Amino acid sequence: MNIATRSAAPDTTGLDLEAFSRGLFIGGHWREGQGSRIAVVDPSTEAVIAHIANASVADAAAAVEAAAQAAAGWRATPPRKRSEILRRCFELMTERAAMLAKLISLENGKALRDARGEVAYAAEFFRWNAEEAVRISGEFGLAPAGANHIIVDYEPIGICVLITPWNFPAAMATRKIAPALAAGCTVVLKPATETPLTAFALAAIYQEAGVPDGVVNVVTTSTPGPVSSAMMADPRVRKLSFTGSTGVGRTLLAEASKSVLSCSMELGGNAPLVVFDDADLDTAIEGAMVAKMRNAGEACTAANRLYVQAGIYEKFVAALTKRMQGLAVGPGTDPATECGPMITAKAADKIDRLVADAVSRGAKVLCGGKKPSGTGFFYPPTVLTDVPSDAEMAHEEIFGPVAPLTRFETEDEVVRQANDTEYGLAAYIFTRDIGRGLRVSRRIEAGMIALNRGLVSDPAAPFGGVKQSGLGREGGSHGVLEFTEPKYVAVTL
């Protein structure tokens, strides 16, 4: 393992952390929450880097009220004008990309190069949805019986509560905010408590770009359950868009059922990565490194189980181990880092537990496999072979830099193994036989397939899962429609 020298002090050079922790962002103003402030920790150094405001139920109600006050004006804003404001958000994010990337690295721990990628991806949701805002067209046609015409109009769904995780602090927020605003909705965002500073930095950018006061509100809280329940119970709120774990997603679906809220759910994953004998080895290794190690494995789309066909297995294992061993582990903000720390000590401990469980069931450790002592929530890039199907990590998200490899013989066998999970978010297939690639793509139960590549996310494509990985899609032309309701008018001309 190649752990870079870790500095005990966080690198905050060039970041105005006070500006990003001014309070809750409600109705275009920064205000203190009613609870005691919450500490934000740099996972690379374990140092507290900021204290953020802590919203109570009353603060959350104020945020919904601000969104309600702004709703009529934003809904009536011409799509072209909304589009131009969204475009400006894209431009400002792009101009400030270096600062935003550093802030993400600091509070999340991810390597700077991953953070730069995230900022570009996150900003793109504004550019894409600026283009979608002016193309939300309705439908007009003659009813089959000929008695009347049918008009369908896509109206903004109403006030939206958006709840996001820590692993992509910018992109998970913009993937919801941009289409919601394009559709004409106002929102309250509750970002993850571990990574709130990026959400606040972006809120200031939206305001500068011309997003009117109250259209986007941001609240952080140490009591997400009561705060989100209170917001969802307000009859003016009509939409919950959540990205996070399947467990919390289930809880929120139950809560949302009380007021029959429209729900979009982007939940957990357990992506299989399948390498057939005829795959190009270099392409497969390159793809596996991206699918496994982007964000140090802390991605819902991360390859969680790697199935490699017997004929290419030994070569693949050797090449992957070499690449994983060579990764530079270190603080996120260090430009040399390729694998940053995990988000919390608890996350690193969970990975350690999953690796120990796999080893106790017969898996072999080729590199890594042991949590280092010292400062920061680090876990080394790890390769495991002969991971049995009853290992816990075959069924649970590892959410870390661990690649568990299993050998397979036949297509039928690997399809059965790939589908042996409650999740169905992403899958990766490597083969030079495009017929087989497309056939297996159809047989694998997942919302997204990457064929001969390690990256599937694209703002221009529908992102989302099947089974217990979620409901609905974000991105593409589908994303904006999640924030609309079709209104049907039967008309006799």
Q: Does residue 397 belong to the site contacting ligand NAP (CB under 6 A)?
A: yes
28: left (phi over 0), alpha (psi -120 to 50) or beta: left
Q: Which stretch binds ligand NAP (CB under 6 A): 70-78, 98-106, 137-145, 262-270?
A: 262-270
Q: Is 248 in the site for ligand NAP (CB under 6 A)?
A: yes
Beta bridge partners of residue 237, listed in sequence order: 159
Check residue 245 for interaction with ligand NAP (CB under 6 A): yes
Which alpha helices (H) appear in 329-456, and where do they start and end?
345-360, 411-418, 434-443
Start-to-end CA distance of the chain, whole Å, equals 74
Output 88 or 350, the one with its CB closest to ligand NAP. 350
Residue 288, CB-side half-sphere exposure with 13 Å CA sphere: 32
- Which residues, at least 6 apart from 431, have a Cβ–Cβ distance to it below 8 Å? 275, 276, 278, 279, 437, 440, 452
In the complex, what is the shortest distance from the CB of residue 39 to ligand NAP, in angstroms, rounded to a whole number?
A: 13
Give the list of residues 6+ apart from residue 397 with CB closer than 8 angstroms, or none: 268, 269, 270, 300, 302, 304, 423
> Does 267 help bind ligand NAP (rule: CB under 6 A)?
yes
Shortest distance in whole angstroms from residue 118 CB to ligand NAP: 11
Q: What residues between 194 and 223 interact with ligand NAP by CB under 6 A?
A: 194
Q: Which residue from 73, 225, 362, 486 is in contact with ligand NAP, where contact means CB under 6 A?
A: 225
Buried b (16+ CB within 10 A) or exposed e, 446-482: bbbbbbbebebbebeeebbbebbbbbbbbbbbebbbb
Task: Say whether residue 167 binds ligand NAP (CB under 6 A).
Answer: yes
Residue choice 34, 251, 283, 344 for contact with ligand NAP (CB under 6 A): 251
Choose which of 158, 224, 331, 454 interacts with ligand NAP (CB under 6 A): 224
Q: Which two tokens stand for residue 131?
A: 């283009």
The site map against ligand NAP for 173-192 (x = CB under 6 A) is -----------------x-x
Amino acid at residue number 340: G
Q: Does 344 bind ligand NAP (CB under 6 A)?
A: no
Question: Whose Cβ is closer to ligand NAP: residue 367's or residue 418's?
Answer: 418
Q: Which is nearer to ligand NAP, 65 or 266 (CB)?
A: 266
Phi, psi of 297 (to 5 degrees): 85, 0
Rounded to the nearest whole angstrom, what is the least distance from the CB of residue 236 to ligand NAP in the complex? Answer: 19
Length in residues, the chain: 493
Q: How far is the CB of 225 from ligand NAP (least distance, A)?
A: 4
Does 163 sit near ligand NAP (CB under 6 A)? yes
98-101: which pairs have CB atoms within 8 A and are 24 or more residues apart? 99/14, 99/15, 99/201, 100/170, 100/198, 100/201, 100/202
Cβ proximity to ligand NAP, 173 vs 185, nearer residue: 173
Nearer to ligand NAP, 94 or 251 (CB): 251
- Determine, following the binding rule CB under 6 A, whether residue 165 of this chain makes contact with ligand NAP: yes
**Nearest-angstrom CA–CA distance, 37 and 51:** 6
Distance CA 342, CA 380 (A): 10
List 166, 276, 307, 379, residue binding ligand NAP (CB under 6 A)? 166
**Cα separation, 394 vs 409, whole angstroms:** 18
CB closer to ligand NAP, 23 vs 244: 244
Contact 287, 332 (CB under 8 A): no
The smaller minimum CB distance to ligand NAP, of residues 150 and 233, is found at 233
243 binds ligand NAP (CB under 6 A): yes
Residues 429-488 that bind ligand NAP (CB under 6 A): 465, 470
- What's the gap between Cα 199 and its chain centre? 13
Contact characters 348-387, ligand NAP, x per CB under 6 A: ----------------------------------------
Q: Taking CB positions, which residue lies at the least distance from ligand NAP? A: 244
Neighbours of 490 (CB within 10 A): 10
Catalytic residue list: 266, 300
Min CB(266)–ligand NAP separation in Å: 3
86 closest CA partner among 492, 465, 483: 483
Q: Find out whether 462 and 128 touch, Cβ atoms under 8 Å.
A: no
Burial classification of residue 379, based on how many CB atoms lie within 10 Å of its CB (0-12 exposed, 13-18 middle, 19 or more buried): buried
Work out which of 269, 332, 437, 479 binds ligand NAP, going by CB under 6 A: 269
Decide if residue 43 touches ligand NAP (CB under 6 A).
no
Contact call for residue 268 and ligand NAP (CB under 6 A): yes
Per rule CB under 6 A, is residue 193 in the interface with ligand NAP?
A: yes
How many residues of this chain bind ligand NAP (CB under 6 A)? 29
Residues of this chain that interact with ligand NAP (CB under 6 A) are 163-168, 172, 190, 192-194, 224-225, 228, 243-245, 248, 251-252, 266-269, 300, 397, 425, 465, 470
